[in-house]
Amino acid sequence: MKKIINNPSDIIPEMVNGLVRSYPNYLKQIEGTYVVARNDGDKKKKVGIVSGGGSGHEPLHAGFVGKGMLDAAVCGQVFTSPTPDEVLAAIKESDQGMGVLLIVKNYSGDVMNFDIAKDMAEMEDIKVEQVIVDDDIAVEDSTYTQGKRGVAGTILVEKIIGSAAENGMSLEDLATLGKKVIEQTKTIGVALKPATVPEVGKPGFEIADDEIEYGVGIHGEPGYKREKLVESKKLVEELITKLDASYDGLSGKKFAVLTNGLGATPLMEQYVFMNDVLNKLEEKKANVLFTKVGSYVTSLEMAGVSLTLLELTDDEWLKELNDSANTIGWGDTNVR
């Protein structure tokens, strides 16, 4: 294991410190916790938006804290859900009397810990609603599994909800909006190399130098198919075929498209991949209205990419995606 770290068990406090000290105009740490909250002083009265999860996916979630996206993010241990007391601290920080919406990725640990925190907050008379993001179509949703996982599509959900909250939407309406957006968000990924959790010290899975695996999760959960490395066009073909089937066809539909690097894949390769994606979507007669490329939901040093489509069934969503967000992670917007 080769990593720029000190003691593996100090990674989270040191990472959070490094982050908030680098961007004090944007972020602050809630004392005694690993909760990162807004520090921009531009806060209006609105519904609080809180997300969080295991660390190792940076810039998710703390990088999306700021005006127009999240009010606070909870940083768990690497690939491990944060605890309910930490989530509660984020809820309390974000509540301005209009309630708080939790955006949770669909993993058993996250769902349970956020659920306990929601109960604890309600005991303190804070209104809390939650939406569960499950955009990874690599996993079938059945009663025999945990269900689909939450992956890169999470940032599109956070962006749309964050913007709607900034524009004054109520807690109940935000929860409904979140569920609608999640239903239209679908992601599928491919991994080239595994990630190593620092405290574990060895890669999460083994894969030969010339092999790739489709559908790997952002914690190295197994995918659905392994094969020899193929060129970018072929990768795109496989992933778009999956997405096409999942949407019952792409032709004539309006989409936001996100190419997301998993950590170790350079932007250069991500642009090559996105070029093929856009060609393929053109060929399929899909109408692409929003595009984004970069490493936003990473999996430590995993190599690979994921492709997310969000069908824009509501015109407001495009506006909300294009609204400015004052965060360190989202970057400039309104690209089209």
Partner 1 sequence: MIRLIQLDGVTQMLDSKQIQKWMQLFAKEIATNKEYLSDLDDAIGDGDHGNNMDRGMIAVIENLEEKNPTEIADSFKVIAMALMTKVGGASGPLYGTAFLEMAKAAQNSEDLAELIAAGTAGIAKRGGASAADKTMLDVWIPTSEVLKNGQLTAEKVDSFVESTKDMQGKKGRSSYLGERSIGHIDPGAASSGMLFKTLIEVTK
Residues annotated as part of the active site: 57, 219
Q: Tokens 């309600």 identify what position?
A: 122
Which lies closer to partner 1 via its Cβ, residue 127 or residue 222? 222
Q: How far is the CB of 21 from partner 1 (least distance, A)?
A: 24
Which lies closer to partner 1 via its Cβ, residue 111 or residue 165? 111
Q: How far is the CB of 144 from partner 1 (least distance, A)?
A: 5
Which lies closer to partner 1 via its Cβ, residue 91 or residue 256? 91
| CA neighbor of 197 nearest in space, from 79, 75, 303 | 79
Please, are residues 188 and 307 in contact by the beta-carbon 8 Å criterion?
yes
- Site of interaction with partner 1 (CB under 8 A): 9, 54, 76-86, 107-109, 112-113, 115-116, 139, 144-146, 149, 197, 199-200, 202, 204, 217, 219-222
| Calculated CA dihedral for residues 195, 201, 207, 210, nearest 10 degrees | 80
Which lies closer to partner 1 via its Cβ, residue 25 or residue 145? 145
Evaluate the CA torsion angle 259, 265, 271, 275 in order and state its sign. Answer: negative
Which lies closer to partner 1 via its Cβ, residue 148 or residue 159? 148
Q: How far is the CB of 217 from partner 1 (least distance, A)?
A: 7
For residue 136, the 8-state DSSP code is: B
DSSP letters spanning 215-256: T--TT----SEEEE---HHHHHHHHHHHHHHHTT--TT-EEE
Strand order in the sheet with 72-78: 27-29, 35-38, 72-78, 48-55, 100-105, 128-133
DSSP letters spanning 83-123: PHHHHHHHHHHH-SSS-EEEEEES-HHHHHHHHHHHHHHHH
Q: How far is the CB of 80 from partner 1 (least distance, A)?
A: 4
Q: How far is the CB of 145 from partner 1 (least distance, A)?
A: 4
DSSP letters spanning 281-327: HHHTT-EEEEEEEE-SS--TTBEEEEEEEEE--SHHHHHHHHS--B-
Q: How far is the CB of 238 from partner 1 (least distance, A)?
A: 19
Which lies closer to partner 1 via its Cβ, residue 84 or residue 162? 84
